[in-house]
Structure 1
Amino acid sequence: MLADLRLYTVFLALLAGMFGIIYWYKLPNNKAKLFVLSIWLSAITELTGIFYTQVTGQVNYMVFNIYMFIIFPYYILFLKSILQQPKNKFAANVCFALFALSVIINPVFFQDIVEEVCFNNFAIGVVMVLVLSCLYLVELFSSNLILSLKDTIFFWFVLGILLFYVPYLPFMLSLRWFLSGIHESTYSLIVFFLNVLMNGSFIFGFIWSKKRYHY
């Protein structure tokens, strides 16, 4: 069952990526197109993790950590690109610098990139992405796009990120502090469900969004 859930998670990312390619013509600019590539990166990472575990017999901590070191800076820069207010863009610059600093310090002094999840980096990255996502939503809800939320692809991208990471970070914290004995299949089921929410949001965005809404 565990292996099946991991494959289904890969399938979800591939499905969202394929919808991104199918509706590529609707994407308003390079920011949206680059986000589609990040979805494909997620699918490739999942496949690489499965292959790594099968070949080495080890947990794919290193694959996950490398992916994390790529995807969180990308999310921060993506959110910066769709933020409109200068102070919010400055906040994104600060977040990027702090996360980059954590990537340098944490694996060197605190956590092994090969032997464990670099959870400190993960928590910092998630918090920063969530803060910037909320800033984007505040801007969006304060703009004239409030009546056309479903028409902008970036709303669906940010919604998908929030649907995954808002519950996932507390869940991961619980695993470290309270639920260390949770069965691995339960963990995989929860992660799969969160991937359904995230990739489902991306797919709805590809279908319903309109090209003229480019921010």
Structure 2
Amino acid sequence: MFEDLRFYIIYLALLSSIIGFRFYYKLPNNKAKFILFIIVFSFLTEFVGKYFTLWTGLINFSVYNFYMLASFSAYIVLLYALFLKLEFKRIAICFLIIFYLFYFCNLYYFQYHNDTVFTNSFALGVVFVLLLSCCYFIEIFNSKKILNFKKSIYFWFILGILLFHVPFLPFMLAIKWFLIKNDESIFSLVLFILNLLMNGCFIIGFLWSEKRYNY
């Protein structure tokens, strides 16, 4: 019944991108514009992933595995740029280096098949982004930014990626370890709902944020 829901994710990413461009004037610097770039890149990935098999005859896992590398790198780089404390910046750099090393070691020695998702790398990426996001929220709650944090595009973007990745990780691992049945309808439904939550946060961020809080 819900098997085709995941194919509508592309429209969620497209809607977020359109609204992002509509409120482009609220993005005052490269750091803020980088968020819109990440969302547009997500839309392009969904577009290519949807038609990759039709165009090439190959399974599209390689598209999403590359997106995994690019997206988690982008999240970590963005959080690095947002940090004020030097120790948090250093942690972000270490996490990025470890993630790259793990990703390519996993690619060449463990999950080297083209017909599988790199769940190991995804899990590590989620853990790193979660920890760095906690550092970001700690900085916010210990500064004057706490008074207007809902008016920042950065808050809504980070909240969005957490609402998608953190719940999706145990769901994906449960499927991998056969703890739950790999049902196509359930998978598509969960994927669509989490993408709806994530893109909903992006859209709220573009609508509610104010330019002066997006520096």
Contact 2:119 2:173 in 1 (8 A): no
* Superposition deviation, residue 200 in structure 1: 0.4
| C-alpha distance in structure 2 between counterparts of 1:143 and 1:197, whole Å | 27
Mapping for residues 108-123 of structure 1, pairs under 5 Å: 108-123=108-123
| Displaced runs of 4 or more, over 2 A | 1-4, 53-59, 178-182
Mapping for residues 5-16 of structure 1, pairs under 5 Å: 5-16=5-16
Mapping for residues 150-165 of structure 1, pairs under 5 Å: 150-165=150-165
Closer, same or farther: CA 115–4 of 1 in aligned 2, 3 Å:
closer
| C-alpha distance in structure 1 between counterparts of 2:59 and 2:143, whole Å | 46
| C-alpha distance in structure 2 between counterparts of 1:20 and 1:151, whole Å | 15
Contact 1:95 1:128 in 2 (8 A): yes
**SS of equivalent residue, structure 1 residue 84:** coil
Partner of 2:107 in structure 1? 107
Residue 90 of structure 2 corresponds to residue 94 of structure 1: no
Contact 1:13 1:43 in 2 (8 A): yes
Contact 2:3 2:184 in 1 (8 A): no
CA RMSD of aligned residues (A): 1.6
Partner of 1:24 in structure 2? 24
| Aligned pairs, number | 215
Identity %: 48
Partner of 2:142 in structure 1? 142
Partner of 2:133 in structure 1? 133
| Residue ranges of structure 1 left out of the alignment (5+ in a row) | none
| C-alpha distance in structure 1 between counterparts of 2:33 and 2:124, whole Å | 26
Task: Give the TM-score taking structure 2 as reference length.
Answer: 0.94
Partner of 1:83 in structure 2? 83
* Superposition deviation, residue 214 in structure 1: 3.1
Task: Give the TM-score taking structure 1 as reference length.
Answer: 0.94
**SS of equivalent residue, structure 1 residue 117:** coil
AA in 2 matched with 1:127: V
Which structure would you say has the larger RCO, counting Cα contacts within 8 Å and 6 or more residues apart? 2
AA in 2 matched with 1:73: S
| Residue ranges of structure 2 left out of the alignment (5+ in a row) | none
Deviates more, 1:88-97 or 1:172-181: 172-181
Q: Deviations over 1:1-53 (max 9, x none)?
A: 55642332000000001111000001131111111011111111111111013
| C-alpha distance in structure 2 between counterparts of 1:113 and 1:55, whole Å | 20
Residue 194 of structure 2 corresponds to residue 194 of structure 1: yes
Partner of 2:36 in structure 1? 36
AA in 1 matched with 2:198: M
Q: Deviations over 1:134-166 (max 9, x none)?
A: 110111111111121211111111111111111
* Superposition deviation, residue 57 in structure 1: 5.2
* Superposition deviation, residue 178 in structure 1: 3.4
| C-alpha distance in structure 1 between counterparts of 2:119 and 2:196, whole Å | 23
